Every structure is written in C-alpha cells, then in structure tokens.
Amino acid sequence: IFTINSFSTSEFIKEVYGLIWIVPILTLILGITIGVLVIVWLEREISAAIQQRIGPEYAGPLGILQAIADGTKLLFKEDLLPSRGDIRLFSVGPSIAVISILLSYLVIPFGYRLILADLNIGVFLWIAISSIAPIGLLMSGYGSNNKYSFLGGLRAAAQSISYEIPLTLCVLSISLLSNSSSTVDIVEAQSKYGFWGWNLWRQPIGFIVFLISSLAECERLPFDLPEAEEELVAGYQTEYSGIKYALFYLASYLNLLVSSLFVTVLYLGGWNFSIPYISIPELFGINKMAGIFGITIGIFITLAKAFLFVFISITTRWTLPRMRMDQLLNLGWKFLLPISLGNLLLTTSFQLVSL
C-alpha cells in the first residue's frame, strides 16, 4: 500500500510540474492583452488630442473600456464568407497573421532573465517568424476573390520584402557590436557602459533605419498602402467581418507592440535605465533581480521605453501624409537598403580594427 501511495504521489508531482510551464505563457498572454487594450485607448485619446476633439468617453471612465466594447461588438457580428472565394485560404489567413506575431514574444526579455526562450539566435528568430505574417495577408487577399483584397495582399508582400532586408541588416550590425544574437546578451552588452552604452548612441544611423523599417513592417501611416481606404476600400480586409476582422485588428496592434519592444531591447538598453552618473539598476538591484520589486521595476522600465515608441508611431500617423506605392518602394530599395549596408560595413570595419 505504501509503495502504491508513493507511486501515486510521484505521478501527481510529475503532472504538477508538467503544468507549471503553462503559467508563464498564460501570464505573457494576459500581459500582451492588457498592453494591446492600453495601446488602443492611447491611440484614440492621442488622436483626439491631435485633432482637437473629445475622443471616447462613454465606455468606462475616460473611455478606457472602448477597446473591450469594440472587441465584443466584433465577436458577436455575423461571420460572412465570400461566395466565390477560397474558403480555406480566407479562414486561415487571419490566424497565420496573429500566430506568427504572437510567437515573436517568446524571445523578448522583459527583465533580467525574464524571458520565455533565451535563444542564441533570438533576434533572427524574430525576423524569421515575423516574415510569415505577410504570407497570411497574401492568402487572405487571394482567398477573398476580390480585386481590392488581392491588390492589398500583393502590396503587403512587396512592402514586407522591401523593408525586411534593411531591418535585418540593422539587426546584424547590433549582433556584431554585442558579439551575440541573444536578446538578453544584447541588453547586457549595453548595460556595461550605462546610458552612453545604449546602441542608440553607438548606432544612430541604424536606429533611424530600424525605426522607419519597423513602422513600414507594422503598416502604419505613412506606410499603410496595403489597406489604403481611398484606393483599396480596406485592402485585404475588405471582405472580412466579425471575429476574422477582429483578428486583423488585433494583429496590427500586436505587431506595433512587438516592434516597440524590440526597439527597446536593441537600441534603448532594455530593462536598464541609466542616466549619466546615476545608475538606477544598481540602486534598485535590477541587474541581480533581488526580489519582486526589482523584477517589477525592470518590467516597468521596459514597457515605458516601448510605449515611447508607440507614442511616436501614433503621432506620426496623424502628422505625415500617405506615400505612393512607388515612393514606398524607392525609399526601401534606393535609400534604406544602401544606408543599412553602409552601416553594416562601418560596424564590421570598427569591430575588425578594435580586435
């Protein structure tokens, strides 16, 4: 009887340990959901302030529940299907777009060793995974059997290819400076020299190229050609409604948040926040993560830097006019690509000289 009880106890413990890995994933999903809700509310409020109007004010205090109201409305709307479209491609496209972006959060460090998967190829895994999303958009456009949707899908694919290459070259320059492709190692390499060790100062050209390329990858104004309302009705989203349209809506803000977090990790020192002569991580012990307070401070610093980029992207949306398609491609291939190549050559030369 004792042997049977011990066996049962050990099996129970194994099952418990087998379920523990779900906890950080659920925590990350909850945090991402809250982050998206905050971004939606911020965009509405900032847009209203720029346009000198009131903005949302009825759904909760200060309109904070407006995003939940929009999501609930889309959840209960009828899911229409095109009569002559490819139903399989039409249905799978939004899911591919969302899942590929969600997987990118696996390699983002929110604090010291506070990461789901600290991989040696972390940043390049993000680039590889994020390049899958335009395939979902192209599938959606083709499966809709609509000329506007198909043109929107083609634009999304062309835009992604044009700006993925400069983005990758900027990331490669950061990897050369940090001697690693791990996101945690890149943040720790910046923390060695405090505030002036941020890659923002060591790679100013790469930062500008990365910033522009990130906005283009997020398809935010002035780079929202795949869903230009005046030209393509709504682009690849034209035939969608209900929950599938909500998935595209969610993917847009998820992509904005993940791009903001990678700007923070690669160029703004991640969870480190040091000003000249004052090192806040050392004061609070964030580098060693002594206790829950240190972890909380690290997460707060990371999110504060990320939302700074979110604010820039929202402001840019209501400041700059939309580009033409030829201007968009010329900017990517004729300007950003040569500049990012030159930046990579300069970084490589500097690293060789410093050996």
Q: What is the mean pLDDT of the chain?
A: 82
pLDDT for the residue 11: 57
3-state SS string for 201-221: HHCHHHHHHHHHHHHHHCCCC
For CA atoms 168, 169, 170, 175, the dihedral sign is: positive
Separation of alpha carbons 355 and 352, rounded Å: 5
Longest CA pairwise span in the chain (Å):
78
Residue 173 has pLDDT above 90, yes or no: yes
Looking at the chain, the whole-number percentage of residues with pLDDT higher than 70 is 87
* Prediction pTM value: 0.86
b/e sequence 49-74, b meaning 16+ C-beta within 10 Å: eeeeeebbeebeeebebbbeebbeeb
Phi then psi for 197, rounded to 5 degrees? -90, -5
pLDDT tens digits, 91-113: 888 888 889 888 888 899 888 77
Average pLDDT over residues 239-259: 87
For CA atoms 140, 72, 215, 347, the dihedral sign is: negative
pLDDT tens digits, 323-349: 888 888 899 999 999 999 999 999 999
Report domain extents, the chain. Answer: 77-354
Query: Angle CA(154)–CA(158)–CA(265) in degrees, nearest 5?
Result: 125
